[in-house]
Structure 1
Amino acid sequence: MQKETLELFIQDINDIREYIKYIEIVNNIEGITTSLSNTPLLQLKDHLRSFGVSKKIFEYKSITISLYGILEKHIGIWIKEYLDNLPDIVANYNDLPDRIREDHFTLSVKLLALINENRYAKYNDIDKKKVLSKLNSCIENPLEFQLNSDAFYLQSGNLKHVKVSEAFACLDIKLNDVLKIIGIRPESLLFNNVSNVSNRGDDLFNLIDDLVERRNYIAHGGQIDDILNITEFDEYINFLEAYGKAIFQALSERLIEFEAKHLYKKIEKIHAVYQSGSVLCFELENNKIFLGDSIIVKLIEGGFTKKKVFEIQIEQNKYPNISTTKTIDIGINVGGGISKGQTFFIKRSNI
């Protein structure tokens, strides 16, 4: 997963925050005392007084619809990116999880039907011949397969958390379970100050569902009676940002898990972890390792991460790389964040 797509999501969130700051600045103008000679400012103050209620409703609609649009847009981008990365990791289509293969066929057929209906603008640029070609590659040439990533994200307009979970189930990801693991990590703000996370259900995501309900009510033209004040959006924005980051992390870690299985191999004999979780000492067998390589770490509480190799040593002598057809003991410095009890993987190499 490319960090750039996560940064674009954060930028979209921050743009909403800046828009709210702008609204607050404009609203404060009404209380400023000014001279009669300052005609533009007087006109603005009169306009704010006359437009007050309508202005608040318009701003509420704009922010609500924009926040929902950020949610739908970026989850769609990330799912497509995830699926487009899979063929680079898993060499054979038949080695993909059953759920992905089953749903790929079904959803590709649905995608073709939607393209033929010609009712939705977002499918206008998708070539049905390419959809068929990718689907055929999975059957006829599984070693050179391509996935129809567009097919896995067909829902729109009502993207409550349960719908997001359903989309992720097609990717063979149990989203609630994964978000509970990611959301309680110290660096995550998803479930900050939330108790008993492991035993909670979809109610953990009530703010997302409420945002979607508000967006749908606006889109269907309902009378707006229950609006949020500008300051009340903070809770929704902060949770949406944490939710999006956690979803991006869930997809990233699932790709790393695939790498561990298909491109790496488990380090079977770990000797020790030293220097406050910075140095891993282990037995290297019939393999090679270079500075700048990464090892994969399976975390004790669940999830996967990568650690870059900054230093390689054998008997306190430093090396830029090591290649061996035998079994030797080495130590590598990965900069911290590892501990005893974790599972480690090293990239497979042909010696």
Structure 2
Amino acid sequence: MPHPEEFKTKTHPELVKTKLDKCDLCHQVKKTDFLFCNDCHHGSASKWTYDPKVKWTTQHAKAVTTNGVAGCLGKCHEQKFCVDCHTKLKPVPTSHKDAKWLRDKLTVTAYGSKAAVASGKHALAAGTAIDSCEVCHGAGGTGSKFCKGCHGMDMPHPDTFKKNHVSGSKTPKLCANCHTFKELCSDCHHKDAKNGVAWAKQHPKAIAAGGAAQCFEKCHEDKQFCVSCHTKLKAVPASHNAKNWTRDLALKKAAGHSTAYKAQTDSCDYCHGTGGVEAKFCKSCHVLPMPHPADFKDTHKADFAAKKLTRKSCENCHNQFFCDNCHHAGSVANQPWRTYHPNLVKKNGAEPCFKCHKPTFCSYCHVRLIH
């Protein structure tokens, strides 16, 4: 006496097995329920403040959760000791009952810069002290039979996963073991995606701003993917509901669909077919070549006479004032030319009328009105 350092740190566990009575002479281990032993083994040696009022089987869970199992294994116990006890008592750590144990809040990839991080508490715990998990779930870390039985693949994802994971679209249930939010995929694959918002609702703004070419660079093979989805859902872009989408009757203002077409020609093709303004869909409404040919101003009079053009076809886009504004100088938008022109003819004479009409044209109408 006193005990040498080697006795304290190495040899005394073996002696205790056969000579506990000798220890009891000084340390009164039996009378104090092994307080002396616990205060060291389950206290300072484990980097824990031992509480003699609480059974060690109860408080060791917090100690292990806080400091890991390294203090238990190697010095006093082998892993089998823990496994045998856990198997016999079938304790389930309180952490495992947490609603966020398997998965927690949505964490996503910041497009092009930062990968998504783990949020499920079991993943965070494994990252901190994987050896604690092995006590019940077996050795091998995330490669153990228990872990792979749930994950179904190597974890964490290997560096090549980003290139090869496209096959995940065929096994969505496997991905859903961890990723219950479709937006996790969306926020990486879809630039300008927003956490927690379904891409089907959000992508119109992104496509309107940046076009659809980005969709086909990595994921979608061709426009038919878009067409099939739009057709199935009967999706109508919000822009198509605008009052001026089909036509804008204000002078020198193009209809909304015309402006959109010039900005992103290919976007129209997804629903209305390829071919631009020559597509069947466009021609069925326009009825004539669009945009108007360069000599349309000079030829449209003859085309009307030959009935190649009709009033009905022009009114698909224009109202009467569009014609009056050019042909009838001085006309106003809110009054018919027939009732408004007498004042202008009295003031300016009828000569401007004869650029388009024969002198007898006026008499056809005026004579009918007299009789």
TM-score, scaled to structure 1 = 0.18
Q: Which has the higher contact order (CA 8 A, sep 6+)?
A: 1
TM-score, scaled to structure 2 = 0.17
> Which is richer in strand?
1
Larger Rg, first or second structure (1 or 2): 2
